[in-house]
Amino acid sequence: MNDHVGIDVSKARLDVHFRSTDEASTYTYDEAGLEQMIRVLVSRSPRLVVLEATGGLERALVAALLAHGLQIAVVNPRQVRDFAKATGRLAKTDRLDARVLAHFAQAVEPAQRPLPDEAAQAFADQLTRRRQLVEMLAMEKTRLKQSTKIVRKEIKKHIEWLQNSLRSSDDGLRRAVEDSPVWQARRDLLSEVKGVGDVTAMTLIGTLPELGRLGRKQIASLVGLAPFNRDSGTLRGKRTVWGGRAVVRHVLYMATLSAIRCNPTIRVFYQRLRSNGKVAKVAIVACMRKLLTMLNAMLRDSARWSPPAMG
């Protein structure tokens, strides 16, 4: 059946909408509900099933859909909200969200994304936990500076616990990379570039598996580093970057600041942009994009680091 299906995922239930017939159904998000819903979907063989990324809540559903050979796409919630606004759907309920997702599936036909294997998903979870530990550690250090003597001892104990947990998390990530010849080879290639440290390399491996498999424009757009025009009529606005994977952008930003200092290729490129009148922020973003392009080419060609000629 040439149909498009939208599924809105919440903790307790799944709202399903079939675009061609405008049918809506609700299932409990448990083993029995999943089995019932999958049976209906398999019997109707839809062209595409679309759901939003919900920070991990969707994983069991995605695994079940893929296991039964259904074609799925997991999309960015902001894309769907922008689409809903563009089509005049401002109200928001779970059922309406499922309907919007079905319409989005038909109108946009987003690219299908395969489910990461178990090891890749576990590695991504470890990376997420590491980021949480870093954020908690930064907050506790700020509280320590502002705290009174009565709570300072307790905060120091928590900081020590967080630091130990962070070291343990880093060790776990390194072991995961060393246990995978493919990941280790990717890490070794990425780490050859001055400015790219272990955290950056592991984050790219875990949260940007498309690196080395897409063209330079596609990978820049995926990360959120592709500049978009903001023109209207005779007005020519500034080009801006937005969207994409914020986690990847953050580590690339830190790596780029380091590369500007210690990587001759990036440093010369940055200095040239600044001498041409680019403000620092614009020059840094351009350097991030250049660094990402170089890393993408290295993994694509399985090539060792070789400073490119400056064009």
- Over residues 278-289, the pLDDT tens digits come to 999 999 999 999
pLDDT at 234: 45
Region 290-295: mean pLDDT is 94
Sequence ranges of the domains in the chain = 4-108, 118-179, 198-301
Q: What pLDDT does 113 receive?
A: 62
Q: What is the pLDDT of residue 186?
A: 87
CB contact set of 179 (below 8 Å; sequence gap of 6+): none
Tens of pLDDT along 238-266? Answer: 555 445 688 899 999 999 999 999 999 99
pLDDT at 1: 61
pLDDT in tens, 48-78: 999 998 777 887 788 788 777 788 888 888 8
* Rounded CA separation 200/255 (Å): 7
- Average pLDDT (96-110) is 91
Yes or no: say if 219 and 292 are a contact pair by the CB < 8 Å rule. yes
Antiparallel, parallel or unpaired: β 235-236 and 48-52: unpaired
Which 3-state string (H, E, C) describes 78-124?
Answer: HHHHHHHHHCCCCCCCHHHHHHHHHHHHHHHCCCCCCCCCHHHHHHH
Q: What is the pLDDT of residues 175-234, one digit of tens each?
A: 888 887 778 888 888 999 999 999 999 999 988 888 988 888 888 988 988 764 444 444
How far is residue 113 from each of residues 50, 119, 234, measured CA to CA in Å? 10, 17, 39
Structure confidence by residue, pLDDT tens digits, 5-34: 999 999 899 999 999 999 999 999 988 898
Check pLDDT > 70 for residue 44: yes
> Greater confidence, 242 or 276?
276
For residues 140-156, give the mean pLDDT.
91
CATH 3.40.50.2300 assigned to domain 4-108? The reply is no
The predicted pLDDT at position 112 comes to: 73
End-to-end Cα spacing for the chain: 51
pTM of whole model > 0.95? no
